[in-house]
Structure 1
Amino acid sequence: MSEIVDKAVEKLAVKLEGGFDGVAKFVITGEGAIMLDASGVRAGDEEADVTLTASAEVFQGILEGDVNPTTAFMTGKLKVDGSMGLAMKLGAALS
């Protein structure tokens, strides 16, 4: 488990305090994966309704509020596989 994933889990847990309605996975390229669901946020690599993939820099920028998730997607810095509706819902929750 990488330090980047550990820190991201902590930040996401605060932002999504009540859990997430659906199953989402963030894949941080070269670092690991984070699962988000109704039970909360944790490091893991399981099946998900939507998978979002980005570099550590882009992911950190999204968490810090410096990178807009929609802009990152439109410019190819954030890849989405699966439910676009859940991806949009997650993007709104992180803003």
Structure 2
Amino acid sequence: MMEDIARGIQDELSGKAFDGSLKFDCGEDGVIVLADNTASTTDQNTDCTLRLSRANLEKLLTGQLNPMTAVMMGKIKVSGDMGVAMKLGQLLG
């Protein structure tokens, strides 16, 4: 399932430049790492980590969950470089 989400993100990123690295950490469901303009499910250290449920990740990626609202409501926990997280919003928007 995480592989499917990673493929969808990869398609979104196609033709766009993403500086830095970012990890979606969905706990036991796994991780998706964006680095070097690729999306993978291989865990590694990143500039920024977003901790959230897989359900909220899917909502975030389909535009059903506003990233800023989700952070304020505690649905997404951000650690590391906030600037990287902000760039992601521009890419997926």
Check whether TM > 0.5: yes
Query: Which residue number corresponds to residue 30 of structure 2?
Result: 32
Tell me which amino acid in the other structure corresponds to 2:54. A
Identify the residue that residue 94 of structure 1 maps to in structure 2: 92
Matches within 5 A, 1:1-95: 3=1, 5-17=2-14, 18-95=16-93
- Give unpaired runs (5+ residues) of structure 2: none
Deviation per residue, 1:41-95 (Å, 9 max, x gap):
1111101000011001110001111111111111100010000111111122122
Greater strand share, structure number: 1
| In structure 2, distance between residues paired with 1:60 and 1:29 | 14
Q: Residues 14-55 of structure 1, C-alpha deviation per residue, up to 9 Å, x if partnerless?
A: 111135211111111321011111241111110100001100
1:26, 1:34 within 8 Å by CA — same for their partners in 2?
Answer: yes
Gaps of 5+ in 1: none
Instruction: Tell me which stretches of 4 or more aligned residues in structure 1 moved more than 4 Å.
Output: none
Look up the equivalent residue of 1:8 and give its one-letter code. I
